Structures are given as structure tokens and as C-alpha cells.
Structure 1
Amino acid sequence: MESSESRFKQSFPAIIPIYLTGEPNQPIQLYQGSLKITQEGTVYEGNGTVFFEWLPSPDVKFLFSKSDNEFLIQLELGKGNLNLSEIQSYAEVFISSIPMDFEHESGDISGTLNKPAILRSENNLSHIVFHLTNFHQFSGMPISTSRAMWRGRLILEAENWNVFIDSLQNLGDIIKSLESKGGYAITHVGRLERSDKKPFTTKDADDVLEALHWFVSFCRGFRTSPILLVGYDNSSEKVWENCTYSYTTSAWRSVHSWFADSQDSCSLGKLFPGFLNRWRSTTWNQPIRFAIHWYLESIAQAGAVQGSIVLMQAAFEILAWTLLVEEKGIISQQEFEKLKAAEKLRHLLSQCGVPLKIPDSLTELLKASKELNWVDGAQALTEIRNAIVHPNPKKRQKYLNRPFPEQIDAYKLGLWYLELILLNLFEYKGKYFNRIANKEFYQENIEVVPWG
């Protein structure tokens, strides 16, 4: 029998997070000590803290306590500069609160950081450690600490970059707390480095980190992003830190995306190179952003089910144009503009290897298709969308008289289409969560993509 010691030797050392949330929405202290605020040549010194606050939305804030209130009357609300004296770091801030009545109020000054507090150098980085909130629990490569081992590593490799993302050891407990309380919690910690081990700058890493935001958001089904970035040099000394918030991160939601909870992390590893290839393309970068944005908003049911059906059509339009007109040139601009929405979607689905037939599991939509002579899913989806958005009273009434379960089926079909189209564009061949399979057991809904 294999010993526990030998198993630990076969695992990767777990990445140690720099910051943790003991409970969802718990503020994270980033700095405590001497602070100096400068505004229009006037300097105020004292002690205070800089902290990452989650609610009502993630932001980095500071609280500056000054015992001597004599000069604070000169301070105004607005921009200023904050010096974190003990680590020689500077940040541009917005002062949002100052004491006005010194006889009855404390001398607290507070505000938010507008731009990152940069610690030392932005060059010659060996690797960057980052944190993720509210991400999936997946089955990954084995990782370990001195006391435990778990299957928690995701490896993403593309171009000259390696990204390692480790789930926290107590991720199950964290997710239970998020399901109960909602909000935000750090669930994973990651590491970005070059595969050739060469040093890099923060500017080099910016595009990869931005791409990673869109990638993990597409995989999660709502927005999440690398946050609380800490850079190290070849001596493993911390030389750079960016604690400000660059991209939107959503509060916890119990939603399904194409990547299922507890699915093998290899699926994400297979997807990343194709995703990054499209991301680097000047033709595809903007359409991918738009399509993933509408995908996430549709899952969130922005504007309810009806609004999501409309938003998905916007994603189909831009993807169809980019693939059929710009990349493949199989349809001219003039021809494309003359096509009906159903024909555009039909061409797009066919090029991406997505079945046109309405799946048998969508029973309500199948009934409607027989009643209304819809030939396939493309026509069904666009007919329902047209009835929502067009002002024609006859069409509007026709939609309003349809049963709501039929609209739910159309919503599911649209999300399924959009997921498969994007997966195909990213040249993915692997397993995904089929949201319309409707099989009894959750894991039975994980299938190979139609073209795989």
C-alpha cells in the first residue's frame, strides 16, 4: 500500500494565499501604521489603516485617524495623495469624509483609493500571486501542505505563460457559508509566471490578467477576477503590490455555466489556449468581450427571462458577423444585412457544429414549434425574441398569450446555443455541462461537446 509520505511527494506544494476571508464579506486589512495625506501642498500625518471592503461592492478604502484636529479644517473632499509611510508606497485617493464639527466629531478622514498603491518596482518580476473570489469547486491536480492533501490545482498554459490556480483547503466550508450568507469570499489563490522563467513587468502581465478575468468569468457563469495582486522577484522578495480593484466581481450566485461544479479541471486547461488565441486576435477580441458580457447578463436574467432572450440575440449577431463576414468571408456584408435573424443564427450554429433541431428535453418549446410551424431552434428562438422587442401589437399579443414554460425553454435553448458557439470558437474538445439534458443525476448532464 502506498504510504502517505509518498503520496505527498507526488503532489504539488499548495500556493499560500497572502490574504484570506475568515467569513464571507469580512474586510481584509492591507496596511496599518503611519499615513500621510497630501492635498494641494498641505500635509497631514497620523496613523490609520488601508483595507479591502466587500460590501456594498468591492473597493479599497482608507481610514486616517488624526488626534490633532487643528489643521483638518483646511482639508477638502476630493482628490488627494496617500503615503503609506512604513512601506514607502503612494496612492491617489478620493477623500469622501472629513470631520466638520471638531468639538463633537472625531478626527477621522476616510476615502477610497483611485489608483493602486505601488510598492517599489514594477519590473523584473518572477511571479505574481493573486486571489479569486466565489470560483468553482473543481477536481484538480493533487496539492498539499505539511498537514493535508487535496485535488485542488488547475493548470492553464498558453503562449509563454503558466497560470496555477489552487482551491483553498476548506473550500467546501467556504461555499456553504457563501450559500448561506451570500456576498464574497476568497476561494482560490493563483500564481502567474512565464514558462521560460524569464523576468517580466507588470505591463507584460496586464493583458494576461485581463484575459484571465474574462476566462474565469465565462467558466463560472458570473464575473470574477484576479484581485489583490502581489509581485515577487527571483529572490522571492515582495517587490510590487496592487490592491485596487480593476474588474467587476459579482456576489455569490447559485448558477450553472458550461463548466460544472466538481468537474475535472482538465476541461479548463484544454479551453484556455483556444480562448487566449481568440483573445489575442484584433478581429475577435471585442466580439468575445461583448459575447461573454451578454452571456453573463443572460445567466443573471438581467431584465428577467424575456430580457435574457433579447440579450442573447445581441451576442448571436456580433458572433455571426465576425465569423461569417470578417473571418471566413462566406457571406458578404450586403448579404448579411439582408438576412433575417433566424437565418443568421442558423448559419452561425451550422458553422460551429451545433445541432439545429430543438432538443427533445425542451418539451414546451417542441409543442410550440409544431403548433406554429417552427422548423428548428433558430427560428423558435428568434420568433420569440421578435415578439418581445417589436412594437407591432399583433406580434406582442401573440407573445403575451404564450405559456411561460415555453419562454423558459427558449431561455435555456439560447444559453445552450451561446455556450456551445463560444466553446467551438475556442476550439474546445472535451466535456461540458449540458444545461438542457435534464437527466436525473447532476453528473449525468456532463457530456462531450457535439463536435468532440
Structure 2
Amino acid sequence: MSKPESSPAQDNVQITYEPDGTRVVTRTLHRAEGPPITITHRYPDALKHHYTPGAADEDVRLYSGGFLNGNGKYYTGNVSFTWRPSPRIQVAGTRELTADDYDDLFSDATTQTGIWSDIREVLVEQPDNLVPRQPDSISTTPKPSKTNYESIADRIVGEIGSSKADLDSLTFLIPNGWEAHDAAYICNPHNPAQYWSGRTTTGGDGWTVTFDRLQPMDAKAWTELRDSAGIRFTHVGHLARVDGSTFTSEQALQVLERIRIGLALALGRRTSCFLPVGYRNDKPVWALWQAYPVDPYTRVSSQWLDSQVASGQLADLLAKVLDFTAQEDRREALTHALAYYIPTNTGFDAALGVGLPISGLQLLSFFHFVTEGTISKRAWEAQNPNTEAEVRQLLTVMNVSTPVPGHFSNLAAVQARLNPQRDALGTIINMRNHIIHPVKGRPGRYTLQEWAEASILANYWLGLALLHLISYQGEIVATLGARVRHEGDERRSVPWAPPALGTTWSAGT
């Protein structure tokens, strides 16, 4: 090993390097009583993004200087990413008015018609054709010395660099991510003695993806984020090709969209890959300033992830999503089915929360048996006279039986009122038909609790069907148990797993 190198930050930390270049960090803790304690680790540096994120609901500085708006007019000002009232890229700037501006007031130029208005694009100054560095601060927009000036404050999008440029890596930020106590250890590159469990690595379809939890996201920060239903960046992501080859930003954005789909399935809510920056030879040559919808970080979240093993679960699921969505028709099917799943999972009217999952199950059943199966559309319609028959076929293939869970007493009360009685699927379909196909003289009057239990079970089946769609066979948590679930509770394999791994499943497990 090489000669120890003292850490400039702490005199009890030494850094050495092994022959293969591996860094070894040794920290010695002196105690009042007893011999010193030595801690040694070889953890890699945490990922670093071009833009340093802030605390919950805190804006992110992106740019300060001159820029051109969509009309080719030059302003001086600032560009920021802001969370409120919704995630967006915001520009503010000023410029002196010219004689042409006054002429425009009397021109015959037509105004935009229709109900849509485009989000404006801006072009910023790029020293050395690189993505501008993040400003240290955003100052008050300077006003020209003359009185005839114009100020703008607008929502914009911005692409820096060419979408055709070759990149060798890309980083991005993820808001409202996940807790994972089984993640690999990483350390602070500025102070390697500080380390934490934060890295998840996965990949698929020729791509490798790494997620690092930001150091400020400790247990207290997660609790505050959850209790406030807040929003903040929690992870840095890194994307590259497995073989090290280059790629364009257009290719990268397609993969980021597929990662977004996978995260939505894993987390049960909306998040995305924000502020991507592409690099070539470690230099930032491309960036995209654009915002996307994000759901608050609340207790209503994933049905599948357990924070004790979430890193492994997420890596497995995302790998399968990347492979599955390599085909466009598969990507569309998964996207459309998630559109039924996410709104119900994050909070929806209980009655409609029954209709949406059933429609999603119907979509996936058709996709499984007809689109990717061997049954023709005509034969499918002949075999299945109604929605219940279509959904039941899919649940049967998934090895999910459908009794009413014993602790779903309100759904059982609905079942008891039916003549003849039906299982959980038949009961839920009966309730769903009252709102999808209302019949005069037969109103569907159900309590909130009855709707809620029907919605919970139907959306649980839809979530299982989404996992079945991508051939996920890992563990999931037992979310439909009769008692309040805690992290680390019982986990089991999905119902379609081989008999050696799984057990007989019913609606209540």
C-alpha cells in the first residue's frame, strides 16, 4: 500500500490506495477509556450531479446571465427549477426596449388562436459550448438604467447542446424516491469518512442504471417529507451503456421515460427523472430543463416494496421493466395500465377507484391472451361474454383465487346481500356495474367503507397483474393482512412463482 495521506478535514482519518487503485479510508476513534477503535472501508464516492439540489420545496438554481426567448429577444436574468405551485422551469429577466418594440405594437401580426399555448423555449449563453455551471446564487433581476425596459417572468423549457451529440454518460435527479436499508454503501467524496447505505444498481436492454440516495436524506428527513406530504430531490441517477459505447440524448430520454414507468410501478405513485445532464469525457455537453408531475411523498405508496430489502426489489423490477419496454407495443400497454393503477393508489373517489382497476385488468387480460397470445379477437369475444369473464381468465393464469378476505367485513356485507352470492371478483364487478352501467330503479347504494374495501382489493389485483406482465418473480410484502403492516413484516413470492418458491394464493394474501 502507498504512503498514508492525512485527510485535510479530520486528523484521525487516513487515505491510502491499494495497487489496483482502490481507495482505503481508515478512521481512528479515540475513547476516554479503552483502546482506540479503527474503522476501515473501501466504499465508492456518491454520485454527483451538475445541479446541487436543496431541501424540501427549495428551488434549484440553474442559470444566471443572458438568454434569448422564443421571439429572439435578449434578456438578462435567471433560470430556476421551482416546485410550487407545480414543478416547472421558471425564467425571470429584463431588457431595454427598442424602437422595433414600439413598431410591434402597431403591427398586423396575428395572435395565437385555440385553447393551447406553447411553453416558451430559451437559449442561454454557453461558454466553451458546455452546459453553464450552476450559479452560486440567484440575485434580484437587474433593471436597466433607463426607464423604458421590459420584465418577463415565464414558465419555459430549455435544451442546452445538440440532441444528436454523442454522450458517454448521463446524470439526473429523482424526487420523492424510496427508502432502502439494504442499499450498498457509498461515501461523501469531499469527506470519505462519511458513508451511508444508499446505492442501488440495475440495468436492462443494454443499459446500466445507478441510483444514489442523497446524504441529507436520513431517517429524520424521510419522516419530515412523509409527514408534510412534501416534495424534494432524494436520489441522483446515472445512466450509461453496458459496453461503454456512446449514445445520443434522444436515446437517453427514451430510456429515462422507461425508468419513469418502472419507478411508477415500484413506488405506486408518480415521480420522474429530472434535469438530465449528458457528459462526454466528463464534460457537461447537453442538458434538458423540463419538469414533470410528481406525487407527494405520503404513506400511501407502494404495495410491494419493503424498505428492509427495497434496493434488491427495485433493482429486479426495473431490470425487467427495461427489458420488457424495449418493444414499443409492450411499453404502451404497461403505460396505459399504470394510468388506471396510479390514480387509485394515490387517492381517488372510492367508487371510481373500483371502476379504474377493473378497466386496467380488462386491458391487461386482452393484451395477455390476444395481443401477445394466440387467441383471435373474435374468439376472445365469443369466449368471454362480459368483463368479469375476461378478468377472471387473467387472475386464473396468475394463480390468484378470489374469495372475499376474511377481514374485509364491509365487502363481505355486500357479498351477503347478493342473490345468488358471488366471490370477491363477482361482488366487485356487481358494484362496478352500478357506476359504469346505471339502470333506472336499481341504484347502487354502498357505504364509503364498502367502496373502499372493493377498491383496495381491485387495485391490489391490478398491481399484481402489472408485475405479472413484466414477469417479476421476486418477493413482495403482504399488504392485505388483517393487521397494520410494519416494515420488515412477512414477505412472500408472487402467486405465479414456481411451486418451490410460492404457495397457494387467495385474494386476502
TM class by shorter chain equals 0.7 to 0.9
Counterpart in the other structure of 1:286: 332
Are the equivalent residues in 1 in contact too, given 2:398–2:495 (CA < 8 A)? Answer: no
The CA RMSD over aligned residues, in Å, is 2.9
Long gaps (5+) in structure 1: 91-101
2:180 to 125, 138, 156: 138
Identify the structure with the greater helix proportion.
1
1:237 to 263, 283, 293: 283
When structure 1 is superposed on structure 2, of 217-226 and 74-83 the one drifting more is 74-83
Deviations 1:361-417 (A, max 9, x none): 323223432442443222122111012222213432xx21x3332222111111110
Q: Does 1:52 align with 2:100?
A: no
Q: Give the Cα separation in 2 of the matches to 1:156 and 1:389.
A: 41
Counterpart in the other structure of 1:215: 262
Deviations 1:260-299 (A, max 9, x none): 3524211111222332233223442222111111100111
Q: Give the Cα separation in 1 of the matches to 2:414 and 2:199.
A: 45
1:14 to 46, 49, 53: 46
1:426/1:10 Cα in 2 relative to 1: closer, same or farther (>3 Å)? farther
Kindly name which structure, 1 or 2, has the bigger radius of gyration based on alpha carbons.
Answer: 2
Q: Does 1:262 align with 2:329?
A: no
| Counterpart residue type for residue 125 of structure 2 | S
1:58/1:75 Cα in 2 relative to 1: closer, same or farther (>3 Å)? farther
Q: Give the Cα separation in 2 of the matches to 1:154 and 1:429.
A: 19
Counterpart in the other structure of 2:93: 64
Q: Does 1:323 align with 2:355?
A: no
Q: Give the Cα separation in 1 of the matches to 2:327 and 2:123.
A: 40
Are the equivalent residues in 1 in contact too, given 2:262–2:317 (CA < 8 A)? Answer: no
Are the equivalent residues in 1 in contact too, given 2:166–2:246 (CA < 8 A)? Answer: yes
Counterpart in the other structure of 1:83: 123
| Counterpart residue type for residue 327 of structure 1 | E
Deviation at 1:222, TM superposition (A): 1.3
Are the equivalent residues in 1 in contact too, given 2:169–2:279 (CA < 8 A)? Answer: yes
Q: Does 1:339 align with 2:380?
A: no
Are the equivalent residues in 2 in contact too, given 1:429–1:448 (CA < 8 A)? Answer: yes
| Counterpart residue type for residue 262 of structure 1 | S
Please give the TM-score of this superposition, normalised by the length of structure 1: 0.86
Q: How many residues align?
A: 429
Counterpart in the other structure of 1:438: 482
What SS does structure 2 have at the residue aligned with 1:252?
coil
Q: Does 1:129 align with 2:161?
A: no
| Counterpart residue type for residue 55 of structure 1 | R
Please give the TM-score of this superposition, normalised by the length of structure 2: 0.77
1:345/1:374 Cα in 2 relative to 1: closer, same or farther (>3 Å)? farther
Counterpart in the other structure of 2:273: 226
Q: Does 1:299 align with 2:327?
A: no
Q: Give the Cα separation in 2 of the matches to 1:73 and 1:179.
A: 52
Q: Give the Cα separation in 1 of the matches to 2:472 and 2:70.
A: 52
Long gaps (5+) in structure 2: 1-23, 28-37, 106-110, 113-117, 132-144, 498-509
Q: Does 1:112 align with 2:160?
A: no
Deviation at 1:120, TM superposition (A): 5.5
Q: Does 1:350 align with 2:379?
A: no
Counterpart in the other structure of 1:365: 411
